């Protein structure tokens, strides 16, 4: 076999193997139910749950179309090896209603997965995103927390997220019945050997003006 | 499990905190680590604004953490 022919075969093998590798990333598209954010939220939860056996060699992308996706009860638990991608900040919005526990997060992160290009809101619950012993990547996500007296844009326990180009807005209510607490990003413990990064982001915590419970007029 | 620093780097980030008189507001709140004094917290191009409240904190690190400023030559 000539040297040229041999090189051609090797090159073709490399091309073929790279196309096989890229083909292993599968995409699931989630669409909203027009005029029904709760049904849209159910669609989102089911789509993520139904992805079969994601792994390092079987990676998936959950692509979410524009719309409001209102989850009910509990957080959307991300899955390893499944990236979740919206259609843009303010274009795809995920929120939680009727939380089973007021301290439930809207989204719960995981390692080996990225959350990107969407808005996550906590309006009836305390926390937009929580990470517990995981190290997720977050890119171009806007977190809004304006639910309870104790609010978190992102709460990390034993977790080291990589946060890039994100915005955190925590708005504290007028406190008529006691003090309020707002945290843009909180960290609680971290094992050695992992890095938590906040890059090119903006964190805004505001509000909480005192409001008299029994104002004298 | 050995614990280390809770935050490793913050770069090109703006933190604005304006809590009210009856609220406690924190931009970054980091507790429960076990800083030994040999870690590096890398802050680069970080702007922190805390205004109008004694309870508005831009970055809170755990007690006894010291932040030293050194000149860096690149």
Angle at A55 between CA A53 and CA A59, to 5 degrees: 95
Task: Spell out which residues of chain A touch residue B48, defining contact as CB-CB under 8 Å.
Answer: none
pLDDT exceeds cutoff 70 at A214: no
- Distance in angstroms (rounded) separating the CA atoms of residues A170 and A211: 18
pLDDT exceeds cutoff 80 at A67: yes
- Comparing CB atoms, the residue among B17, B24, B28 nearest residue A181 is B24
The tokens for A78 are 């991300």
- Comparing CB atoms, the residue among A179, A191, A196 nearest residue B3 is A191
Q: Considering the domain A24-207 in this protein, what is its CATH number?
A: 2.160.20.10
Task: Spell out which residues of chain B touch residue A155, defining contact as CB-CB under 8 Å.
Answer: none
Residues A49-60 have pLDDT tens digits of 999 999 999 999
**Which residues on chain A place their C-beta less than 8 Å from a C-beta of chain B?**
156, 160, 170, 172, 174-175, 178-210
Mean pLDDT of B16-20: 81
Does the beta-carbon distance from A190 to B4 stay under 8 Å? Answer: yes
User: pLDDT value at position B57?
Assistant: 85
Q: Does B13 reside within a domain?
A: yes
Mean pLDDT of B29-41: 76
Reported ipTM exceeds the 0.95 cut: no
Residue range(s) defining the domain that contains residue B45? 9-60
- Distance in angstroms (rounded) separating the CA atoms of residues A96 and A146: 12
- Distance in angstroms (rounded) separating the CA atoms of residues A212 and B66: 39
- Average pLDDT score, chain A: 88
Does the beta-carbon distance from B56 to A205 stay under 8 Å? Answer: yes
DSSP A175: B
User: pLDDT value at position A77?
Assistant: 98
Does the beta-carbon distance from B25 to A186 stay under 8 Å? Answer: no
- In the sheet that holds A180-188, the strands lie side by side as A76-77, A105-108, A127-132, A150-157, A180-188, B23-31, B56-60
**Cβ atoms of A181 and A208 closer than 8 Å:** no
Does the beta-carbon distance from A174 to B20 stay under 8 Å? Answer: yes
More confident residue, B19 or A71: A71
Does the beta-carbon distance from A195 to B23 stay under 8 Å? Answer: no
Q: Does B33 reside within a domain?
A: yes
Measured between CB atoms, does B15 come within 8 Å of chain A? Answer: yes
Q: How many domains does chain B have?
A: 1
């Amino acid at each position: 076999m000539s040297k040229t022919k041999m090189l051609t075969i090797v090159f073709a093998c490399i091309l073929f193997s790279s196309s096989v590798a890229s083909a292993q990333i599968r995409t699931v598209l989630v669409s909203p139910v027009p005029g029904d954010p709760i049904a849209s939220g159910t669609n989102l939860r089911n789509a993520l749950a139904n992805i079969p056996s994601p792994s390092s060699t079987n990676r998936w992308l959950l692509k979410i179309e524009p719309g409001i996706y209102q989850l009910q009860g509990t957080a959307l638990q991300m899955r390893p090896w499944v990236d979740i991608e919206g259609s843009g900040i303010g274009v795809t919005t995920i929120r939680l209603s009727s939380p089973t526990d007021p301290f439930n997060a809207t989204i719960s992160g995981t390692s080996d997965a990225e959350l990107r290009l969407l808005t996550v809101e906590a309006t009836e619950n305390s926390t937009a995103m929580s990470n517990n012993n995981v190290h997720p990547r977050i890119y171009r996500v806007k977190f809004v927390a304006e639910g309870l007296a104790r609010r978190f844009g992102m709460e990390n326990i034993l977790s080291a997220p990589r946060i890039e180009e994100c915005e955190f807005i925590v708005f504290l209510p007028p406190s008529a019945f006691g003090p309020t607490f707002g945290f843009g990003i909180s960290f609680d413990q971290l094992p050695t050997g992992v890095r938590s990064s906040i890059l090119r982001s903006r964190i805004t915590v505001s509000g909480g003006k005192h409001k008299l419970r029994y104002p004298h007029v | 499990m050995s614990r280390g620093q809770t935050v490793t780097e913050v770069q090109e980030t703006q933190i604005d905190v304006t809590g009210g008189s009856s609220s406690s507001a924190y931009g970054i709140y980091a507790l429960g680590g076990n800083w030994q004094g040999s870690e590096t917290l890398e802050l680069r191009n970080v702007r922190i604004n805390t205004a109008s409240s004694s309870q508005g904190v831009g970055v809170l690190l755990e007690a006894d953490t010291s932040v030293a400023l050194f000149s860096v030559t690149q």
